[in-house]
Structures are given as C-alpha cells and as structure tokens.
Structure 1
Amino acid sequence: MRKDPIQLKWLFLGSLITNTGISFIWPLTTIYMHEYLHETLTVAGLVLLINSVATIIGNYLGGWLFDHWKPYETIVAGIVIATASAGALIFWHGWPIYAILLVILGLGNGIVVTCINSIATLVRSKQPSYVFNVLYFTSNLGLVFGSLVVGFILPLGIQYVFLTAFILFVLFLIVALLTFRNLNQAKQAIRRSKVTDTGDGRTREKLPIYLLLLMLFVAWVGYEQWQSNISAYMLHLGMTVRSYSFLWTVNAVLIVTLQPLLTHFDDYLLKHLRGRLYTGFFMFTGSFAILLTAKHYAFFILAMAVLTIGEVIAFPAVSTFVNERASYQEKGKYQGLVTMAASAGRAVGPLIGALIIESLSYPVLFIFCAAIVILATLAFILIGRGKRKPATDQK
C-alpha cells in the first residue's frame, strides 16, 4: 500500500493548529491563577503538575487506542475533549472550575499529540523521519505563533483567549472529520500485510527504545530549567526580563531556520540516525557546561543557541528511531511512550530544579543537568546497541 491515508498537508496543518491553540492557554496558567484568581504560586504549580499528569495519561490512552481500537475515532475523540474544555473555559474560568477544565484539556491534548505522531507511521509516500521532522517544525511554529499572538489578545479579556483557542480546535475538528477518514482502513491494511514482521506482532528491540526514552526524559528535565529556574538566575545576575525573553526569540529563529535545513538532508541523517542522536544530546550537555561559567549575557545566548541546535537535531530523531524498531502492531504504543517521556520531563523538571537550587545552588543544578543527560546518553551508546530492524514500512 503506497497511498497515504491522508494528505500530508492536512496532518501538518492539524499539528500547527493544535499547538497554536494549546499555546494560547498553558503559558498563561501561572500568571492567570496568581494575578487574576489570586491563588498562590504553589497552587498554580500543583495545577500544572496535575495537568501534566493528565497529559501523560492522554499520551498513553492515545497510543493504546490507536493500536487496539480505531485511529480515526481516537484522534477525533481527543480533539472533541480539547474543543469542549476550551469552549467551556470561555464561560467558566473562575476557581476551581478553571483548574478542572485545564486538566481535561491536558487529557485531550495528550491523546491528540500521540495520535498525530502515530499517524506519521502510516505514511507511505515519505520516509517517517521526514514526516517527524516537519511535524516538529509545525509544532514549534504553532507554539511560537500562539505565544506571540496571545499577548495582544489578553488585554481584551481572558475569555477572548479561550475563544480563540476554541475556534482553532473547532477548525482542527473540521479538518479531521473531513480528511482523516481513511485512517482505519490504512491501519487495517498494514496490520494484515505486516503482521508477520515479528512473528506475534510484538516489538523485540525494547532495550534501545527504553534507554532512548530515558535520554529524552532527562533532556526535558534539563530543558525545563530554561523555562522556569534560569529566568530567576539571570535576574539574580542583574539581567532583565526582556533579556530573558529574547533568548526564546533566538530559540524560535533557530528552530524555524534549521528544521527545514535538516529536513532537506533527511536521507543522509536517516543513514546516520544514531550519530544524530549522539550529537544532539551531547550538545544538550554542552549548553549546561556553558552556563557554569556564564556571567555575561552573551554566554546565555551562546548556551541557548547550543541547546536549540541540539534540540533540533535530537528530538525529531527520537520518534524516527522508535518507529524503526517498533512492530507494526505497536506503533501507537511506542509513539505514546515518546510523548509520555517528554511530558514527564516537563512535569517534574521545574520541581527538581527548584529543590536543587534551594538545597544547593544554581551551579550544582547545571552540573546535575549535564550529568544526567551525558550518563543517559552513554548508557544508550554502550548498552543499547542493537541491530536496526529493516524499515519495511518505508517506501
């Protein structure tokens, strides 16, 4: 079967829409709960943690249902949950209903994100690595666009932020209902033709996958320090909030610039997939090594640049590596584990960082982040070597 179950442009548009929609809501959580609802920062942090747990549950459900139920109905259900919760937030955004709806939204979004990655495994016209690269680009583009626009909408009233997110989710629901209908047939066709790929349809090379998921988890623990604790460190050194915000402009520009370039060299990078992973995750380590000696703003820009280049190189390659080794019966499950590892790292990263800073110091935090990434990477290199399963699902 060479025909794609959906046109790639609709899959990429769906990724762009859902990430733009979610970026209208989650960055405002702490500010909105603290400044508007007058809850403590601890309560806001607890809500974010519960939201992350709901997202992880959604990641798992999305993968399991994709494999064992129907892909089309699964992603539609996820979009409906996200759409309904965003719509309810327009009218009910006081305490505690705001927190409850935010958690429900996290569940729906977790299902959707895993399904989008799982659908990429059904594509026949392009290498899965190409699709994962573009999906990573569209997801980041959506997050950048949403984060920029929300600043202009918020002064009009918080209900307009939720209304905009709701409209975007409705748009994605319409796209899915009209263009995703062939997913079930594609999944069944592949299952019938490929069921003998591992005898009983189960994944054999599990150790390399789980070691890579560990790498992804600890990398996100480190990455989250940039979104939480490093801002306070920069202010402690006398830098401004504007200076910190500009670092994320550097991050966005590098991602938008470099991701299409990597996609252009997809065939070469696919042949050197392990090298790509090693390079990307070692660059993560390098960014924290730079922070150890960073006292001037230029070093923070350099560290962010190194971190972002490592992110662009490594993160999309994780889904590709896992896809190559997962059996056709368990594509959804393992793409779900990828999104779960990232979600878990995002969930516990700020807390781990805060505990280390309060107990020890910022330099110890940077050493810790560098150490856990390099140790996980070395374990993947030394222990997780396995023969690459033939990519018989590619064109």
Structure 2
Amino acid sequence: MNLIQKRWLLFFQAYPKDALYFMAASFVNATGKAILWPLTTLYVHEVLGRSYGQAGLVLLYQALAGILGEIVGGALYHKLGPKKLIVSSMVLTASLLGSVVFVHDYWVFVIIVSVNGFMNGIAIPSINAYVGFRWKEHRRKLYNAIYVGNNTGLAIGAAVGGAIASISFPLTYTVTSVSTLAFGVFLFFFMKTSPDDSVSATKTAGTLGENQSAYQHIVNFRIYLFLGLGALFYYIAFTLWSNGIAPYLTEQGYPLTMYSLLWTINGIVIFAGQPVTGLIKSTIAKSLVAQIVMSSLCYSLGLGFIMLFHHSYLFLVVGMIVCTIGEMLLLPAIPTFYSERTGRAAPFFMGLSGGFGNVGRMTGPTLYGNLYDHWGIVPVLLAGTCASVVSLVFFLMHAALHKEKKSKVSSSVVTY
C-alpha cells in the first residue's frame, strides 16, 4: 500500500461513518452551488438583457437577504429544530432555483435571487451548528475537513459551470436546483430527530442556558463582537480579488484564464496545503484564538506583498498562496470557536457572526470599484491591506478576551 492510499485510509478511519456520508453529501451540494455562483452577473446581462450595474444590484440584494437569513437561521435553530429548518430551506431553495428557468422578467428574478439568498443564509449557521452538536468529539477536524471538501467542490463546480453555461444558461440553474434538492432529501433521511442532538450535546453548556433570550446573547458582546468585526474586515479584504485584481489583470492584457488560474491555485493550496496549516497549528498557533490571529496576519502579509510587487504575475501567485493559508486557518476556526465556547447558543452566534461577514462581502465591491475607477490598482491594494490589518487588530482584541488554558484547549462553557 503506497503512502497516498495509507493517508486516505487513515482519513476514513478518523471519522464516524455517518460523518463521512455527511461530508460526501456536502461536497456534492457545494459543487452544485458553485456551478451557479460565478454566472449570476453574466446571466443578468446576457439572458435578461440588463446592464452590469443592474447585475451588481442583484448581488447586493442577495447579500442583504443573506445577512438577514443568517441571523434568523441562528435564532430559529432550537425553536424549529435543525431538521425542519435546514431541510425546508433546502427544498425551497431548490424550488426557487428551478423556477428561474421559466423567468424572463428582471424584477421577478431579483425577488427569486433575494429569497434564495435568505434561505441560504438560514442554512449556513444551522448546518455548522448541527455538525458541532452531533459530532462534538470530532468537530475541530470535521469543520476543517468539510471546509476542504467544500472548496474542492467549489473549484470543480466553477469549472463545470462554465461548460454547462456554454450549452445553456438556464441549465445551470436546473443542475444546481437538482443538486440542492438531492442534498435536502439526503438530510431529511439522515438527520436525527430523536433524541435532539443539539440538546444532548450541550447539557454541560452552563453559562449560555436554554432560557437566555436573543437580547441577552447580544448584550454578551465580548463573545462575538470583535470576532465578527474582524470577519467583516477580513471579507472586505477578500473581495479585493474579484473587484481589484480581476480588472487589473484584464487591463494589463492578461486573458481571463490567468485570473481563473489564481482560484485554481487557491483550490490546490487548500487541498494540498493541510500539512502546512497543521504545522502552524502544532507550533506557533496551538489555540483557536491564536489560529484566528495568525490567519489575519497571513492575509495582511500576502496583500502587503502584492501591493509592493503587483507588477509581476508570479508575485500575485505568491501573494495568493500566503493569503490562502490565512483563509485555511480562519474559516474552519470560527464555527469551531462558537461550538466550543457558546454551547446551545452556538447557532445564534454563528448566524450573528455570519451577518458581519456578509456586510464585508457587500462593502468591498463598492469600495474597490470606486477606488479602481478613480485611482487604479494601488489604492485598491492599499485599502485591502489596511482592511486586513484592521481585522488583525480586532482578532487580537478577541484573542485577549478568550485566552485558552494550555491544559484545556476545548471547552463547551462560555467564558466572559
């Protein structure tokens, strides 16, 4: 048995079988969604005959609905139950996407996409919380494994989406609708309803008990505010790639495939770079809060490097690799932190934090678009680097409030 086979065998042995089934289904769902997400702007322009500015408004409405959806999803998790909440959102999302095939009116499309963004927002914190509750002994590794698998699916789906769109734009919505419905059906049969996973997994959650209201959670700002603000500025920095680097490469005469190559590299690093992040976690960033701080430091260094040496495509690749390492440290760490520190209230805080992140996704494109139109790439790169440094400051503030004891890196009790 060669080394690769041994590693895969060890991977499958490290998780419960039901968790592996969930990861596989999540991978398929992520692949299906990725077929669609890069094409919305082109669909509005090419099929509905609207301007790129109007296409940008569609994405804005979708992001706003997503913010509301994440907050609502987190708040309703225990009231409706994870199975009812997640499966119904998936089925409705599949129905909405399938209906796009028959829609030829811009404003009807806007409504469908906005409701779809809301339902997706509901599902995100709910699924993350469900993973943390059901497999609490494995959740650190699981969040990372699902993140890697989903990003691999995104890379595959984005590539497949272009091929499908070349045949038919509406077909992309049909394929994504089918994959979303398949995931919803899988979850309907897969998710346990009795006993309630979320309750049994959090009986020791102590500080944030069942009787605390959303208002009481919001008042406990130390648990979420600085992490949420850090995520907001991280995503402002993140959107630089599509709203700064992309037009810059086009202006410099590079073909679109060279921009796509950056995201291919991103996917390869996420998949193959696990030993690097594993080494960072075992040496200089042993706790979750340290990983979050290190993530923003990597992103700041990567964007700062690009700001100084953006004239060379090779240096853009180097910057992308460094930034991707930061992304790999951050994104699985956030749901893990809330699962371990907030107990039963984890869905609420995941949704709240996700709302902060969506504000960053919404703000970045407008900021960079105006900067690039008036002053070019250097102010864009400077703004992105500064946003990443600001996120580093907020993450440091968060880390100062949530230091983990060396003898215990995992806790289900919230500490204020």
Q: Distance in 2 between matches of 1:333 and 1:5?
A: 26
- Paired residue for 1:18? 29
Matched, 1:308 2:318: no
Kindly tell me: are residues 213 and 245 of structure 1, through their superposed partners in 2, closer, same or farther at Cα, counting changes over 3 Å? same
Q: Which residue of 1 aligns with 2:294?
A: 279
Structure 1 residue 114: Cα displacement:
1.7
1:181 corresponds, among 184, 188, 192, to 192
Is the 1:11–1:116 contact (alpha carbons within 8 Å) kept by the matching residues of 2? no
**Contact 2:77–2:85 (8 Å) recurs in 1:** yes
Give the total of aligned pairs. 389
1:196 corresponds, among 196, 206, 221, to: 206
Q: For residue 148 of structure 2, what is the aligned residue in structure 1?
A: 137
Following superposition, the deviation at residue 265 of structure 1 comes to 8.7
Matches within 5 A, 1:223-234: 223-234=238-249
- Counterparts in 2 of 1:286 and 1:139: CA distance versus 1, 3 Å: same
Question: Which 5+ residue runs of structure 2 have no aligned equivalent?
Answer: 1-14
Shift of 1:330: 1.0
- The verdict on how the C-alpha distance between 1:267 and 1:124 changes in structure 2, with shifts beyond 3 A counting, is farther
Query: Please, which of 68, 77, 102 is the counterpart of residue 79 of structure 2?
Result: 68
How many angstroms does 1:160 deviate by?
1.8
Which residue, out of 313, 319, 331, partners 1:297?
313
The 5 A counterparts of 1:101-140 are: 101-124=112-135, 126-140=137-151
Correspondence for 1:357: 372
TM-score, reference length from structure 1: 0.89
Confirm or deny that 1:219 pairs with 2:229: no
Check the 8 A contact 1:280/1:312 in 2, yes or no.
Answer: yes
How far apart, CA to CA, are the structure 2 residues paired with 1:120 and 1:261? 25
Residue 3 of structure 2 corresponds to: none
Stretch moving more, 15-24 or 41-50: 15-24
Instruction: Tell me the residue number matched to 2:388.
Output: 373
Cα root mean square deviation, aligned: 2.8
Gaps of 5+ in 1: none
Q: CA deviation at 1:205?
A: 6.3
AA partner of residue 89 (structure 2): G
Residue by residue over 1:94-137, the C-alpha shift from the partner in whole angstroms, topping out at 9 and shown as x without a partner, is: 43322222222212211122211111220346332212111211
Asked if 1:85 is matched to 2:96, the reply is yes
Question: In the aligned structure 2, how far is the partner of 1:383 from the partner of 1:108?
Answer: 30
CA distance in 2, matches of 1:176, 1:93: 32
Q: How far does residue 138 in structure 1 lie from its aligned partner after superposition?
A: 2.2
Tell which deviates more after alignment, 296-305 or 91-100: 91-100
Secondary structure of the 1:196 match is coil
Structure-2-length-normalised TM-score: 0.85
Specify the code of the residue in structure 2 equivalent to 1:147: A
Q: 1:205 to 1:272 in 2, by over 3 A?
A: farther
State the match for 2:4 in structure 1: none
Q: Does the 8 Å contact 2:199/2:344 carry over to 1? A: no
2:267 pairs, out of 236, 252, 256, with 252
Greater mean deviation of Cα atoms: 383-392 or 349-358: 383-392
Matched, 1:162 2:178: no
Report sequence identity in percent: 23
The letter for the 2-side match of 1:76 is V
Change (3 A) 1:302 1:261: closer
Given that residues 144 and 332 in structure 2 are in contact (C-alpha distance below 8 angstroms), is that contact kept between their aligned partners in structure 1? yes
Within 2, Cα distance between the matches of 1:92 and 1:230? 33
Paired residue secondary structure (1:24): helix
- Tell me if the contact between 1:5 and 1:182 (Cα under 8 Å) persists in the aligned partners: no
Aligned residue in 1 for 2:68: 57
